[in-house]
Amino acid sequence: MSTFQAPKGTYDLTPPRSATFLAVREVISAPLRDSGYGYIETPGFENVELFARGVGESTDIVTKEMYTLTTKGGDQLALRPEGTASVLRAALEANLHKAGNLPVKLWYSGSYYRYERPQAGRYRHFSQVGAEAIGTEDPALDAELIILADQAYRSLGLRRFRILLNSLGDKECRPVYREALQTFLRDLDLDEETRRRIEINPLRVLDDKRADVQKQLTDAPKLRDYLCDACKAYHEEVRALLTAAGVAFEDDEKLVRGLDYYTRTTFEFVHDGLGSQSAVGGGGRYDGLSEMIGGPELPSVGWALGVDRTVLALEAESVELDLPATTSVYAVPLGEEARRVLFGVVTELRRAGIAADFAFGGRGLKGAMKSANRSGARYTLVAGERDLAEGVVQLKDMESGEQSAVPLAEAAAELAKRLG
Ligand code: AMP
């Protein structure tokens, strides 16, 4: 293996594509920042116990996909496979829920790690932007999060995504359904592992992607028929609020999601241009999670959107984000003296808030102009000995090709004026 190869299932973000990733994080988080969500950052690793209890002992994420390690001090840690458990842990630790300001609304952005079988759109290191609204049971909060995610994807320019919606019931009605489902599943022709899953987490069997399994599930009892009145009313209200907001969704009975902590509302954003890894984001309500990790009762709801797959979705739809050129002015000095002078102008421009770059390394005019072009700069400043002797620099408009001599002392002000 080459020393220059990233570990299996990972990849690097390098310019220019990396700019799209930054922009996606920015666009996804913008609606959250405008809606009362505060930024939270938690460590990249946590005590393994948090995920075992929080995400669920029976989930693939915990049993197969977690990167665990024992520190030299003997602590059992895990690289975070998802964000919700960490964010809730941090909110509890900081007593954010006791400040008398519920719900606690938080957003985050970061790297997550799962030891999965790598394929297109599925990596061992990936990036998410997420949101959690902690401590309040209110269908409007579920609706708010779904609407904000929809707004985020739309403002990116995505169109070919769909929202799948379901309700998983609560601690009253879900156990009754669970038992009915187990009774049904036990009679089916299933492999050992799936049979084990029936006993630990039968709802996840509904999520099985295999056609021979799906075929047997046609007559499985439906959760919808088991929802208690409170859950039904709650779900109807979420649906009504989404409809009123003009957010289209599809009811998806089979949507159970891979984590144990969900109750009531669950949803997934799928994109039709991504092949098998079609989920670009997902989330739901997790009313029991706080208690599962040892906290007080704090009904909450949240989502996480995958940045990697969102970028793939943009590529699938051929959406080009309108990324402003990072450099507005590119300075090309010809000779030692010009190098000192133009470097000074570049510094002045930067201090005035104008994005400027410089042809380093004493390169010839041709190569330096190529770099100027590549930088996307609107203007170039060129100066040689003769210009300096006359006290001017050549200011070239890269769009029109027009070039004019500008007094050196006025170059920065002139550029500031032209760039508005
Ligand atoms: P989940 O926590 O599994 O619901 O994931 C939320 C979102 O994160 C998914 O919809 C994906 O967009 C993204 N995601 C999850 N796992 C991976 C992965 N292994 N590689 C890339 N993106 C992922």
> Which structural domain range is residue 372 located in?
329-418
Task: Give the Cα separation of 68 and 16 in Å (integer).
Answer: 33
**Chain segment 317-350, per-residue pLDDT in tens:** 999 998 887 899 999 999 999 999 999 999 999 9
The stretch 203-231 carries a mean pLDDT of 91
Same domain (yes/no): 156, 52:
yes
Ligand 1 centroid, distance to 306 Cα (angstroms) = 5
238 in a domain, yes or no? Answer: yes
**Chain segment 36-79, per-residue pLDDT in tens:** 999 999 999 999 999 988 887 777 888 889 999 999 999 999 99
Same domain (yes/no): 293, 342:
no
Q: Which atom of ligand 1 is nearest to the CA of 82?
A: 2
182 in a domain, yes or no? Answer: no
Same domain (yes/no): 155, 124:
yes
Ligand 1 centroid, distance to 61 Cα (angstroms) = 11
> pLDDT band for position 104 (50/70/90)?
very high
Is the shortest distance between the CB of 128 and ligand 1 below 6 Å?
yes
Is the shortest distance between the CB of 280 and ligand 1 below 6 Å?
yes
pTM of the full predicted structure? 0.92
Q: pLDDT at position 362, please?
A: 81
Q: What is the CATH number of the domain that holds 389?
A: 3.40.50.800
**Chain segment 238-266, per-residue pLDDT in tens:** 999 999 999 999 999 888 776 667 899 99
Q: pLDDT at position 255, please?
A: 87
pLDDT at 312 over 90: yes
Last residue of a domain, one of 295, 316, 337: 316
Q: Which atom of ligand 1 is nearest to the CA of 269?
A: 10
CB 178 within 8 A of CB 220: no
Distances (CA, A) of 412 to 65, 265, 329, 352, 415: 55, 56, 10, 9, 5
133 in a domain, yes or no? Answer: yes
Same domain (yes/no): 271, 409:
no
Same domain (yes/no): 266, 340:
no
374 in a domain, yes or no? Answer: yes
Q: pLDDT at position 273, please?
A: 94
Please provide the distance, in angstroms rounded to a whole number, between the alpha carbons at the two ends of the chain. 51
Same domain (yes/no): 302, 256:
yes
Report which protein residue has its CA nearest ligand 1's atom 4: 282
> pLDDT band for position 198 (50/70/90)?
very high
Same domain (yes/no): 343, 409:
yes
CB 313 within 8 A of CB 273: yes
> pLDDT band for position 152 (50/70/90)?
very high
Is the shortest distance between the CB of 122 and ligand 1 below 6 Å?
yes
194 in a domain, yes or no? Answer: no
pLDDT at 208 over 80: yes
Task: Give the Cα separation of 207 and 291 in Å (integer).
Answer: 26
The three-state (H, E, C) secondary structure of 292-312, written as one string: HCCCCCCCEEEEEEEHHHHHH
Same domain (yes/no): 288, 250:
yes
Is the shortest distance between the CB of 306 and ligand 1 below 6 Å?
yes
Any idea what DSSP says for residue 207?
A: G
Report which protein residue has its CA nearest ligand 1's atom 8: 306
Same domain (yes/no): 310, 345:
no
Is the shortest distance between the CB of 309 and ligand 1 below 6 Å?
yes
The stretch 209-218 carries a mean pLDDT of 91
Same domain (yes/no): 375, 247:
no
Beta-carbon contacts of residue 286 (< 8 Å; ≥ 6 apart)? 84, 261, 262, 263, 300, 301, 302
Same domain (yes/no): 153, 287:
yes
Ligand 1 centroid, distance to 316 Cα (angstroms) = 17
pLDDT at 316 over 90: yes
pLDDT at 203 over 90: no
Report which protein residue has its CA nearest ligand 1's atom 13: 306
| % of residues, the chain, pLDDT over 70 | 99
Enter the tokens of residue 180: 């009915």
Report which protein residue has its CA nearest ligand 1's atom 17: 122
The DSSP string of 221-245 is PPGGGT--HHHHHHHHHHHHHHHHT
Same domain (yes/no): 277, 255:
yes
Is the shortest distance between the CB of 123 and ligand 1 below 6 Å?
yes
8 in a domain, yes or no? Answer: no
Last residue of a domain, one of 285, 316, 347: 316
Ligand 1 centroid, distance to 126 Cα (angstroms) = 7
Is the shortest distance between the CB of 261 and ligand 1 below 6 Å?
no
Task: Give the Cα separation of 368 and 374 in Å (integer).
Answer: 10
pLDDT at 417 over 70: yes
156 in a domain, yes or no? Answer: yes
By most ligand atoms within 8 Å of CB, the mutation choice from 126, 270, 271 for ligand 1 is 126
Ligand 1 centroid, distance to 47 Cα (angstroms) = 21
Q: What is the CATH number of the domain that holds 132?
A: 3.30.930.10
The stretch 199-226 carries a mean pLDDT of 89
By most ligand atoms within 8 Å of CB, the mutation choice from 55, 119, 128 for ligand 1 is 128
Beta-carbon contacts of residue 396 (< 8 Å; ≥ 6 apart)? 379, 380, 381, 382, 402, 403
Distances (CA, A) of 86 to 13, 112, 132, 247: 25, 11, 11, 30
Split into its structural domains, the chain has a count of 2
The torsion angles phi and psi of 60, rounded to 5 degrees, stand at: -60, -35
68-70 β-sheet, strand order:
45-47, 76-79, 68-70
62 in a domain, yes or no? Answer: yes
Give the total residue count for the chain: 420
Sign for the CA dihedral angle at 410, 415, 416, 420 comes to: positive
| % of residues, the chain, pLDDT over 90 | 85
pLDDT at 390 over 90: yes
Last residue of a domain, one of 270, 294, 316: 316
> Cβ–Cβ contacts within 10 Å for residue 384, how many?
16
CB 293 within 8 A of CB 88: yes
Q: pLDDT at position 253, please?
A: 84
